[in-house]
Copies of this chain bind each other. A is one copy, B any other.
Amino acid sequence: LLSPGMTNTITEDVEVLVLLPQNNSYLFSHARVAPAILYAQQRLRTDGGKFSGFHFNIHFENSDCVNDALFLLVDRSCGQKPDLILGPVCEYEAAAVVRLASHWNIPVISAGALAAGFGNKNTEYSQLTRIAPSYVKMAETFTAMFEHFTWKSALLVYEDDKQERNCYFTLEGVFHLMADFNIKVYPFFPEDRLDTDDILQSIYDTEVVIMCMGADKIREIMLAAHRRRLTNGSYMFFNVELFNASSYGNGSWRRGDKYDSDARQAYASLNTVTLLRTVKPEFENFSMEMKKSTEETGLHDCRDCGSVNMFVEGFHDAMMLYSIALHEAMKSGYSKKNGTAITSRMWNRTFEGIAGQVSMDDNGDRNGDFSLMSMTNVEEGTYEVVANYFGVNGTFQLLPAFNTDHFTLKGRHKAHAETPDKSC
């Protein structure tokens, strides 16, 4: 007689195709993420649980964030197709891969593909499960704030590199979700001179400025805003910093130049929306293992290597979620080749991820938790988390460090009269 534990064990070989960049400049490079996937594989195999019968054959292939992932998938397509695809992360590359995988009924799980367009799971992205919170999920934080503070208008200022377009897609999420608000956009390109005069001219008839761009350019805009006395509370400034949140909080206004003091004062008006950091005890071991792996591969000088980012965490959890869904689907009599049966079982469920609970919405997109950071000590120029947004129930939670006055728009008419409109 089989033990109760054994009755649940289902044996299956699973071909996994992982599409991640070999190029270590990415936060989701192979060197950083592969250890998390292998860690998950190891956990699944050795914990003696119901997933120990799954044998994952993991093939890593290069994604160049342009087309390599698609070409690899297509060029392999005449032979055996994979049962599961992990990645790609980059939007344009993921779009092509997910479309084809959906056409072939192969589940795709990515900690990327964060753009608003991927939310359409009816047809072309039907097999996509997003294991990290998308840009639209991030945008919910702004909706919650706008409703809480009764703001009505925003200008989205972003640098559009026309390549990966992370900032374009980040603020597209805001634009997409906040259609009922008065939203204007101000894109600029890396090769352009940053025309702070023109940007600040554009903000006069809005209340909130939401920025996505490199830290130096944010500082330039904030300094210019400060010079024009726009940081006196008549405007709200935000930036969005999703991936390398650890570089925040230590005061990115500081450069050791003569503008530091002005920048510190200017940044008193700048608030940052970032991922909520959660830690549970098991995470420490995972985190240490990841650190060891990246050190072993010689990844010493990479950005934020000390911390597990959302991509590393996400792809680990992807293996967990897929195993849960495959197990359920096979118990219900479906084969691993029935992508639809497996994908649908990854959606609308909550499970324990490596860092904490992971909640997937009924559209297969992870619910996100975000933090709002503000400068709470202007003398020191230090930041604290002042509020959290929890995507699973849409609550906006104010923390003790929260200061209502800081988020109250002041002197709107006065600010308008200050516009340098010579025609008046």
Contacts and interface: CB of A to CB of B under 8 A. Distances in A.
A421 interface: yes
Interface string A165-189: 0000000000000010010111101
A212 B396 CA distance: 40
A187 B185 contact: yes
A99 B70 contact: yes
Contact of A413 (B124, B162, B423): B423
Contacts of A187: 185
Interface residues of A, number: 35
Interface stretch (A71-79, A275-283, A317-325, A399-407): A71-79
Given A71-B100, A96-B96, A198 B179 contact: no
A399 B117 CA distance: 45
Majority DSSP secondary structure for residues of A touching B: mixed
Given A124-B66, A187-B185, A71 B416 contact: no
Interface in A295-334: none
Contact of A185 (B66, B99, B185): B185
A306 B413 CA distance: 58
A186 B183 CA distance: 10
Contact of A103 (B67, B78, B179): B67
Contacts of A416: 421, 423
A192 B67 CA distance: 34
Contacts of A192: 179
Interface in A158-216: 162, 179, 182, 184-187, 189, 191-192, 198, 201-202, 205
Contacts of A413: 423
A123 B74 contact: no
A2 interface: no
Contacts of A417: 423-424
Contacts of A71: 100, 103
Interface in A377-424: 413, 416-417, 419, 421, 423-424
A51 B27 CA distance: 54
Contacts of A123: 66
Contacts of A100: 70-71, 74
A193 to B, nearest CB: 11
Nearest to A189: B179
A69 to B, nearest CB: 11
Contacts of A78: 77-78
Contacts of A99: 67, 70, 96
Nearest to A195: B182
A24 B200 CA distance: 47
A112 to B, nearest CB: 18
A91 to B, nearest CB: 13
Nearest to A186: B184
Nearest to A417: B423
Nearest to A120: B162
A285 to B, nearest CB: 42
- For the complex of A and B, the 5 pairs showing the least CB-CB separation, nearest first, are A416-B423, A424-B424, A78-B78, A71-B103, A67-B99
Given A66-B124, A70-B99, A417-B423, 13 more contacts: A71-B100, A74-B74, A74-B77, A77-B77, A96-B96, A96-B99, A179-B192, A182-B198, A184-B202, A201-B205, A417-B424, A423-B424, A424-B424
21 contacts: A67-B99, A67-B103, A67-B124, A70-B96, A70-B99, A71-B100, A71-B103, A74-B74, A77-B78, A78-B78, A96-B96, A96-B99, A117-B162, A179-B191, A179-B192, A184-B186, A184-B202, A185-B185, A201-B205, A416-B421, A416-B423
